Amino acid sequence: MKYLVKVPINGFETANEVEISKIDDVFATMTLKVKNSQDEAKITLVDPYQLDSNYSFEIPIAIKTLLDISDESELSIYLAVVLQQPIEGSIVNFRAPFVFNNKTEKMAQVIFSTKQEPNYKIDATLREYIEKEKIEL
């Protein structure tokens, strides 16, 4: 599914559209496209709820407004993952979730500070969650 980028993505500020392709129930890829260019980049994503069923955060009101989020919205949340060998050592950033409104086809990245979300790390490994949530990769 394609989404319009409503807030610049950290490190990919010129991307104006992304496309999500699910790999399985845990992983997806996000292809970032730059307006008027053939350039694109890919980011591997992970569904945070597959890693931590208690993962939660407050979407800032500005993001809710930009993405037209309402009570009827169908949201998807993903986190960036930097793949490593073995995969259990892959690094996940829990403090910069990507929020997708599937109804309006708009998305944004929300970036939280340590003060805002002290329980989430920017460099968690999949290993930390595989054992806790009994995930099979």
- The answer to whether the beta carbons of residues 63 and 110 sit under 8 Å apart is yes
- Structural domain including 80 reads 2-133
Q: Which of 106, 24, 116 is nearest to 73 (CA)?
A: 106
Please check the confidence at residue 131 and state whether its pLDDT lies above 70: no
Q: What is the pLDDT of residues 1-30, one digit of tens each?
A: 999 999 999 889 889 999 999 999 899 999
CATH of the domain at 52: 2.30.290.10
What the block records as the tokens of 43 is 């980011």
Per the prediction, the chain carries an average pLDDT of: 89
Assessment of whether the complete model's pTM goes beyond 0.85: yes
Please check the confidence at residue 134 and state whether its pLDDT lies above 70: no
Q: What is the pLDDT of residues 107-122, one digit of tens each?
A: 999 998 767 776 778 8
Q: What is the pLDDT of residues 35-94, one digit of tens each?
A: 777 778 999 999 999 998 889 999 999 999 999 999 899 999 999 999 999 988 999 999
Number of domains in the chain: 1
Instruction: Quote the pLDDT of residue 2.
Output: 96
